[in-house]
A and B are shown apart, each in its own frame.
Chain A
Amino acid sequence: MKGEEIQDTRYKIQDTRKKTMKGQKETQQEEVKVNGSEQISGAEALLKSLITEGVDTIFGYPGGAIMPVYDKLLDFEGSIKHILTRHEQGAAHAAQAYAMVTGKPGVCFATSGPGSTNLITGIANAYLDSVPVVFITAQVVSSLIGSDAFQETDILGVSMPVTKWNCQVKRSEEIPDAIAKGFYIATSGRPGPVLIDITKDAQIDNLSYNYKKCTYLRSYNPHIPLHTREIESAAIMINHADKPLILAGHGVLISKAEKELREFAEKTGIPVALTLLGLSSFPAGHRLYAGFLGMHGNYGPNLLTNEADLIIAVGMRFDDRVTGNLKKYAKQARIIHIEIDNAEINKNVQVDLEIHNDAKEALSALIPLVTKRTHEQWIREFRICDKTEYEKVIKSETRPAEGDIRMGEVVNMVSELTGGNAIIVTDVGQNQMSAARYYKFTEPNSLVTSGGMGTMGFGLPAAVGAKTGRPDKEVIAFLGDGGFQMTMQELGTILHYNIPAKIIILNNSFLGMVRQWQDMFFKKRYASTELINPDFVMIAGGFGIPAKKVTEREDLKKSLTEMLKAKGPYLLDITIEKEGNVLPMVEPGASVSEVTLNYKS
């Protein structure tokens, strides 16, 4: 309450200063006080509401219908930074990445019609990966809605399947409440994107502004009471298990339960395997770290999922990329599922005990009930698998003696040079899997990747968002040559705002992952996967971004060091072995215990 009052005064002071500075016409900006609340335009109310919600950065792109808001943004330059991307999709991805690294909701602006439809890929991406982003789209004047007016799209209908919640505001006085509700919904429970569509007349019309944060909705229940009996049952199951395994996902990071997860694992002595989006929630160097799960995950956690007698799944949703063939997935194990979203429980895998709750709360309640144990023999099985994987895959991938540069080698070197402390952004495909496999994450929320949706082109705009959100951290993007070209216009954003992100193109002149599948499952028929690429160094040059091409192994370390030393943005185009495959692999339709370690085409 106090804070809001203080903030309000600050803006008044700012507004007054602006007025005197510019000597504007008093009539236009005059604030009329009605019953203690001020009369302002819908656009101003929107921006003030955002500021009250703690927003200081917005990613977006202007257009006809959203012009009143952009006009007002000029008056708020001191408190809100607007990053103009080069495409609305870029703004959506950047806002998501910003949210992932800061833990604050991302905010994204776009105009009506094509502006809003261009967001859809980004919205769907945030939805599948449970990232809180508030999308504000403009809509044509309310009297024109439904008439197929210029740049009119039914964005509510279009975005409904890919948003946690959406709404349309046709009257200016509804703006503060809609924003408050949007932020509450986006950030609570299982987070996700919301979309608020505001008509142009609602942006222009005046209202008496009064902002009240939303903390309760009758139909929405993000806080679930903990059932003591379930926690007790879980503790009994855990205390009696001989080969227990923790599968931790994004939920651990979202509920900020990294400390609890570690404490729980250390007390019970249970190994921890992570999903793609769960990476960085448990330190990679920890003795209980079992590895990365999934189709291209580590050998041990995949194989031993089918050996464990108890699986404790925390904040993860048994995605098909994690489970492989469901008919042969962990049939021998009893499963405890700690998950905040009730719809995820028993969706893909039938579990023995449901704990429908927040990961942090459930783990905190469990810790005092579990007995201190060690599972040395069981851990040893993981180490044996690690050794096999190292001999058969990792050694030749990270320290090849000859041949072309390999992806794992680059990622491994970056991991060593940065001490695992950088924020890693990836695109989608082989570059993503290599980054996930070989970067040794030490800090929570240090991986930004497109998991559920697998959106190529995510990487570069996400790097913009990640570096904007965490300017104090080194942000390194691993991109493929294919994905980079899907959104490479965002180099313009990097130029515009001098965003010192480091970009590494792992260039094999192929759509690498699709080529790998063609190699393995389509008789090596390379249909539309080979790329004729432009000179990426020259392209970066055009955007004023220092860049270098690396083709030889002996130049690699020097070039990476040079890149890391650079003060501003930097792009490295590294020529990678053309037909390298990411292994191990749980092939489509195979069980997690049928891992392909060697593949010779």
Chain B
Amino acid sequence: MGKQEFTISLFSENHIGILNQITIILTRRQINIESITASESAVKGVHLLTLVVKTTSEMIRKVARQMEKLVDVLKVFVHTSEEIIYQEIALFKVTTKGMMSGNVIDHVVRTHNVRILEVSPEYIVLEKTGHKAEISELLTHLEPFGVLQFARSGRVAITKQVKELNSYLKEMDEANRFKPEGTEIYNRN
């Protein structure tokens, strides 16, 4: 089975060591992390980790279940790139001299939608948001003019699915918090 890119959205309690626990699972299976982003989520107190990995669909199912099994992990979603809306952000520090030659500035702003964050006699700082490929393309374009520094963030992603984390949390809550006798069996299908 061929490898493909998956985005893991992992919601967890904000506990020390959670990232370590996640990477242990990936390391055991020899899966490399392409990118990783940690942030708050829309639910108060819930932490969101967005990981991009390349592996087979069979393997991603197994590791996602192992991640979800961790005590401090609330819910894990795995998506292919088509199922999410995602962005990455990159900052470029380029030489002012290089940028001033010809119509470079004009070109990058118009075609690459670049924002200029700072201008000094020595360097200019540019910001580009987009997919990895677009950012790479811009980097290739800028390289001849002298890129002094380049940094790209991990992926941030929003899912297209309708059911939100909150409703999953509510379901889990119902199953675990209230357990009066005799209400064990019910049909969720």
Interface: A185 (CB within 8 A): yes
Interface: B127 (CB within 8 A): no
Interface: A365 (CB within 8 A): yes
Considering the complex, give the chain B residue whose CB is closest to the CB of A157.
B20
Of B61-69, B78-86, B144-152, the one touching chain A = B61-69
Residues of chain A with a CB closer than 8 A to B169's CB:
218
Considering the complex, give the chain B residue whose CB is closest to the CB of A224.
B175
Interface: A525 (CB within 8 A): no
Interface: B179 (CB within 8 A): yes
CB < 8 Å neighbour of A225 from B20, B28, B73, B175: B175
The answer to whether A218 and B13 touch (CB under 8 A), given A160-B21, A161-B24, is yes
Considering the complex, give the chain B residue whose CB is closest to the CB of A156.
B17
Within 8 A of B (CB), among A395-418: none
CA–CA, A224 and B188, complex, Å = 11
Q: In angstroms, how far is the closest chain A Cβ from the Cβ of B170? A: 11
Beta-carbon contacts of B1-31 to A below 8 Å, as 1s and 0s? Answer: 0000000000011000100110010001000
Considering the complex, give the chain B residue whose CB is closest to the CB of A185.
B71
Q: Most chain-B CB neighbours within 10 Å: which of A161, A221, A345?
A: A221
Residues of chain B with a CB closer than 8 A to A25's CB:
none
Residues of chain B with a CB closer than 8 A to A361's CB:
184
CA–CA, A166 and B172, complex, Å = 22
Contact in complex: A346, B173 (CB < 8 Å): no
Interface: A523 (CB within 8 A): no
Contact in complex: A343, B62 (CB < 8 Å): yes
Contact in complex: B173, A217 (CB < 8 Å): no
Interface: A18 (CB within 8 A): no
Beta-carbon contacts of B130-150 to A below 8 Å, as 1s and 0s? Answer: 000000000000000000000
CA–CA, A219 and B11, complex, Å = 9
Interface size class of A (residues with CB under 8 A): 20 to 34
Contact in complex: A228, B187 (CB < 8 Å): yes
Contact in complex: A226, B185 (CB < 8 Å): yes
Q: In angstroms, how far is the closest chain A Cβ from the Cβ of B15? A: 8
Contact in complex: B189, A219 (CB < 8 Å): no
CA–CA, A348 and B26, complex, Å = 17
Within 8 A of B (CB), among A346-361: 346-347, 361
CA–CA, A222 and B73, complex, Å = 13
Residues of chain A with a CB closer than 8 A to B74's CB:
218-219
Interface: B177 (CB within 8 A): yes
Contact in complex: B24, A227 (CB < 8 Å): no
The answer to whether A221 and B172 touch (CB under 8 A), given A160-B24, A226-B185, A228-B187, is yes
Considering the complex, give the chain A residue whose CB is closest to the CB of B64.
A343
CA–CA, A225 and B3, complex, Å = 34
CA–CA, A223 and B185, complex, Å = 11
Q: In angstroms, how far is the closest chain A Cβ from the Cβ of B55? A: 15
The answer to whether A227 and B173 touch (CB under 8 A), given A164-B71, A219-B71, A219-B74, is no
Interface: A342 (CB within 8 A): yes
Show the binding face of B for A, using Cβ within 8 Å. Answer: 12-13, 17, 20-21, 24, 28, 61-62, 65-66, 68-69, 71-74, 169, 172-173, 175-177, 179, 184-189
18 sampled A-B residue pairs with Cβ under 8 A: A160-B24, A161-B24, A185-B71, A216-B176, A218-B169, A219-B13, A220-B72, A224-B175, A225-B186, A226-B185, A227-B187, A227-B188, A228-B189, A343-B68, A343-B69, A345-B65, A347-B62, A365-B185
